[in-house]
Amino acid sequence: MAEAGSFAERVKQQADVVRVIGEYVRLKKSGQNFTGLCPFHQEKTPSFAVHPVKQIYHCFGCGAGGDVFKFVMELEKCTFPEAIRTVAEKCGIAIPRPRERSPEERRENQQRSALVEMHREGAAFYTRQLHESPEGKVAYACLEDRGLNREAMMKFGLGYAPSSGDALLRFLKQKYPETLLEVSGLLSREQNGRFFDRFRRRIMFPIANEAGKVIAFGGRAMGDDMPKYLNSPETPVYSKSNVLYHLDRAKEALRQNDFGVLVEGYMDAIAVARAGIANVIASCGTSLAEPQIKLLGRFTRRVVVNYDPDTAGRTATERSLILLLEKEFDVRVLTLPGGADPDKFLKVQGAEAYKKLLTQAPPYLDYLIDRARLMDRTTANGRVAALNFLMPYVQRLPNGLLRSEWATRIASELHVDEPVLREALRRAVTERRSEVKPKAELLGPSIKGAERRLIHMLAEADGFREKLAQEIVSSGLHRGLETEKIFDLLITKAGERSDPATFAEALDERDRRMLFEIFFESFSEHTWDEAESCLSVLRNRRVEQELAELQQQLEAKPTAEELRRIITRRLELQKLLAGQ
């Protein structure tokens, strides 16, 4: 795309593709090339390579590849000219004077530049108020009580908005026209048209974009003023769904550590960063928006969510999890003991205790199942409610194998029948429903649920028990089960109606008791679909057993030929489990 003799060609010749891509991907030297995890698809083993001599990249997993401009265009979702400018700026290449823009474009650019400068001056004004004004001394003391010293206040640019209502207005109107003041988000208008300061009697937290330019503010009320936190409105330079607090300081640590700590508010982010965990970002009190997740995904696809443990925090956590799972993030959830938020926990327990819990943060599935356990699962409706709590997360999983693993885990943890649950989950995902229907089949006992139902069908399902017996015999699914003798007996009797008390005498005491217990259980009317679902459970058990055996063979240091056979067979079995 770079024409001979053009500025784009000159940039491409001078640009270091390893340096540019290295700002987005954690690269390691591998022979003459550099490798890392591909930013264009989810992977755990590096298949992304950068060739420093040919100045190209290629992913051997997803096939993405090209030059430095193509990389920036794909990752930043920008145009070719924008990619040229981005690469030039990153490499310190002087950018020639741009083409003549339309009057409207010039006005918009001038407006954005002026607004950024206005916010820079506003941040400096608020900082002076905190450190120099008599009124700011009270806010300064409050911050000291929260554990912040002067160095921390200066590092994070904290400030104070006076209570007068026009202090910032008087400062800004000397330099900026009224039309600019109106769209800045720093001021508001009364009904009579007069301006007044949007932020009054508040501790101020500057919000910067990825480049470190202040574009908005969050204000924390002093005393009982409401709302407790007030943020800047949307402006030409600020869109809250496109900004993560502290990202400008955290981006290098995010790449280096390859995971981020996601907290809820400004003070939490500051506390975690001061504890030596620089890879922390905050969503500023709301659950993540999709643009924020895409922004975070440029630096890492692994995140520990550590929102406040109150009701609002739990809700925000669960909403964020849905979007993170859709984007195939590796997510863990940290819930701090004692109902503490990160800021409070760090003050009481210290940095080392927090870091230890951070490394022990459970996977999102464990967190969600723990939440489901808190529901009343002693009733049928309670179990359905717990399942429906988990359903939105199951739906968002793009990987069939993961959904299969979820089904097994959920059935075990919530004591519901696995074969029927798998079918319910499959239908819900296919039909894009966010809930399962409370059918009686879903709520029965889970211990050997599939076996018990099949045994009951072999005794009672007159319409298809001979067909079922043939299916079980042909596949040998009952071999090795604790109930194998019961199956053998019922299969031989599948073509006749015998007195249960008579033919049960052929069983030993343990099996006879189990058979009679099953006879006395209450089941709904059996269908062949239900039988197929139960048979699928037995087939999956066989597959899982073979997978376990293959794992043992892997650990026994097989030869190269045996290793290829084992890996090939394991992939086949995993696809069977995922229903592919």
Per-residue pLDDT, 109: 83
- What residues in the chain have per-residue pLDDT under 50? 4, 440-447, 580
Nearest to 50 by CA among 9, 18, 74, 77: 18
Per-residue pLDDT, 443: 45
Cα–Cα dist 546/240, whole Å: 50
Structure tokens at 458: 């072999």
Q: Is 361 helix (H, G, I), strand (E, B) or coil?
A: coil
Cα–Cα dist 549/564, whole Å: 15
Q: What is the pLDDT of residues 81-93, one digit of tens each?
A: 888 888 888 877 7
Q: What is the pTM of this model?
A: 0.62
Q: How far is CA 38 from CA 45, 146, 442, in A?
A: 9, 41, 41
Q: What is the pLDDT of residues 474-483, one digit of tens each?
A: 888 888 777 8
Per-residue pLDDT, 4: 46
Per-residue pLDDT, 441: 46
Cα–Cα dist 382/51, whole Å: 57
Residue with the two structure tokens 């870091």: 355
Nearest to 414 by CA among 366, 367, 372, 453: 372
Nearest to 172 by CA among 159, 157, 183, 158: 183
Cα–Cα dist 392/400, whole Å: 15
Cα–Cα dist 220/226, whole Å: 9
Per-residue pLDDT, 498: 57
Exposed, middle or buried by CB within 10 Å (0-12, 13-18, 19+), for 424?
buried
Per-residue pLDDT, 440: 43
Q: What is the pLDDT of residues 217-269, one digit of tens each?
A: 999 998 778 888 999 999 999 988 889 999 999 988 987 888 999 998 899 99
Per-residue pLDDT, 127: 97
Cα–Cα dist 359/351, whole Å: 13
Cα–Cα dist 309/340, whole Å: 7
Structure tokens at 37: 């995890």
Residue type, 27: L
Residues 6 or more apart in contact with residue 267 via CB below 8 angstroms: 146, 220, 343
Backbone φ and ψ for 92, nearest 5 degrees, come out as: 70, 30
Backbone φ and ψ for 219, nearest 5 degrees, come out as: -115, 125
Per-residue pLDDT, 510: 77
Cα–Cα dist 535/554, whole Å: 29
382, 383, 388, 391: CA torsion to nearest 10: 160
Q: For residue 227, is the peptide bond before it cis, meaning its omega torsion is within 30 degrees of 0?
A: yes
